[in-house]
């Protein structure tokens, strides 16, 4: 269940209430007349089955309440109520199979913003990858994969492409286009300092066979990226976030960036190109698979609109 909190002008309250009353997936309806101060109006709350949220929010937006007031979507961890159980039963479909588009767009938009925190995590992940390569340590490479924050912008690009939200695509693309080169430059500078101090050795890079998978790209690089992108988007849209950890560990994005930066500093130029190609293949594969999953799920939801019961009666 999700909770909708609607702030609307008093003259729109009855129309909003009718939408909520008439939908089989809404319950626990509460109205506080005149409770809203900014913007001025009434406050309406309702608990809504996940699979009914998009339809209800769309109807509320048709009233322009998103402009004259506001609609907030909140998660409910536990709900002990027969009426809530009945609402979930009456709402069409399965909650875990439904995409709440407004929630997904908001989440993607937040994670796609280029920020100091995003850049810091990406840079730290690249440095971890460089250390993992230099020490021939797959465990450290895995740590770099987990720390890397790049899936957020990649998912935002996929959402933006499918939802035709070009602002998301642009913002997320900028985050990646600036973030990766900057992280690689910082990694190169610090590894160069480390080389001067004797921390990094060219022979260690050449002989580090346990981490050769980072720069050796091929058909399976694309296959893994596609599978990871599909799993990641399924995780985001079904609220099963635990699966994202597996996605982070499976893709060779940050490790490839760290490998390329270290190889350039140590002068192993024949591995810089393949590492950058590995990075590009993974980025493109993840976005393509994530967008494909969204297209399929949206088509399934669209096909089912005409058969979905709207009225409780």
Q: What pLDDT does 312 receive?
A: 40
pTM equals 0.77
pLDDT, tens digit, 9 for 90 and up, residues 33-73: 999 998 999 999 999 988 888 889 989 999 999 899 999 98
Query: Would you place residue 123 in the very low, low, confident or very high pLDDT band (cuts 50, 70, 90)?
Result: very high
Q: How far apart are CA 232 and CA 287, in angstroms?
A: 10
What is the pLDDT, as a whole number, of residue 95?
52
CB-based contacts of 298, cutoff 8 Å, min separation 6: 99, 162
Does residue 304 sit in helix, strand or coil?
coil
Q: What is the pLDDT of residue 175?
A: 93
Give the mean model confidence (pLDDT) for residues 198-206.
77
Are β-strands 2-8 and 26-36 bridged in parallel, bridged antiparallel, or unpaired?
unpaired
pLDDT at 129 over 90: yes
Placement of tokens 């990641």 in the chain: 232
Which tops the pLDDT comparison, 77 or 132? 132
Across 21-25, 38-42, 152-156, 183-187, the highest mean pLDDT is recorded for: 183-187
The Cα–Cα gap between 12 and 252 comes to 51
Q: Residue 310 pLDDT > 60, yes or no?
A: no
State residue 302's pLDDT score.
54
Name the percent of the chain lying above pLDDT 70: 89
Which of 79, 66, 87, 65 lies closest to 21 in space, CA to CA? 87
Structure confidence by residue, pLDDT tens digits, 88-116: 887 766 555 567 777 788 777 777 788 89
Q: What is the pLDDT of residue 100?
A: 76
Q: What is the Cα–Cα distance from 228 to 225, expressed in whole angstroms?
A: 5
C-beta atoms surrounding 219 within 10 Å? 8
Return all residues near 2 (Cβ < 8 A) that are at least 6 apart. 47, 48, 49, 50, 53, 73, 74, 75, 76, 100, 103
Weakest mean pLDDT among 55-69, 122-136, 208-222, 233-247: 233-247
Distance of CA 72 to the CA centre of its chain: 19
Share of the chain above pLDDT 90, in %: 43
User: CB of 265 within 8 A of CB of 200?
Assistant: yes
304 pLDDT more than 60: no
> Which residue, 228, 219, 249, is CA-closest to 293?
228
Helices 254-266 and 138-147 cross at an angle (nearest 10°) of: 120
């Amino acid at each position: 269940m999700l909770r909708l909190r609607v702030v609307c002008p008093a003259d729109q309250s009855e129309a909003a209430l009718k939408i909520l009353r008439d939908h089989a997936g809404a319950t626990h309806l509460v109205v506080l007349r005149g409770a809203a101060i900014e913007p001025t109006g009434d406050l309406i709350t309702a608990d809504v089955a996940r699979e009914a949220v998009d339809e209800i929010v769309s109807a509320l937006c048709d009233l322009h309440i998103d402009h004259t007031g506001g609609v907030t979507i909140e998660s409910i961890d536990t709900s002990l109520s027969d009426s809530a159980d009945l609402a979930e039963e009456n709402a069409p479909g399965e909650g875990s199979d439904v995409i709440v588009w407004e929630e997904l767009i908001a989440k993607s938009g937040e994670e796609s913003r280029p920020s100091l925190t995003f850049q810091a995590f990406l840079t730290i992940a690249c440095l971890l990858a460089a250390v993992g390569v230099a020490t021939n340590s797959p465990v450290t490479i895995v740590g770099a994969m987990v720390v890397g924050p790049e899936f957020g912008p990649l998912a935002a690009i996929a959402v933006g492409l499918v939802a035709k939200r070009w602002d998301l695509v642009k913002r997320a693309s900028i985050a990646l286009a600036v973030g990766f080169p900057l992280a690689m430059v910082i990694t190169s500078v610090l590894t160069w300092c480390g080389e001067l101090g004797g921390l990094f050795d060219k022979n260690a890079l050449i002989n580090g066979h346990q981490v050769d998978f980072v720069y050796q790209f091929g058909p399976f690089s694309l296959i893994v990226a596609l599978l990871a992108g599909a799993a990641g988007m399924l995780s985001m849209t079904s609220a099963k976030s635990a699966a994202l950890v597996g996605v982070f560990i499976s893709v060779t994005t940050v490790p490839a960036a760290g490998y390329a930066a270290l190889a350039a500093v140590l002068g192993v130029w024949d591995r810089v190109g393949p590492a950058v190609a590995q990075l590009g293949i993974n980025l493109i594969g993840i976005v393509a698979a994530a967008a494909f999953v969204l297209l399929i799920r949206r088509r399934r939801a669209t096909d089912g609109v005409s058969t979905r019961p709207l009225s409780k009666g």
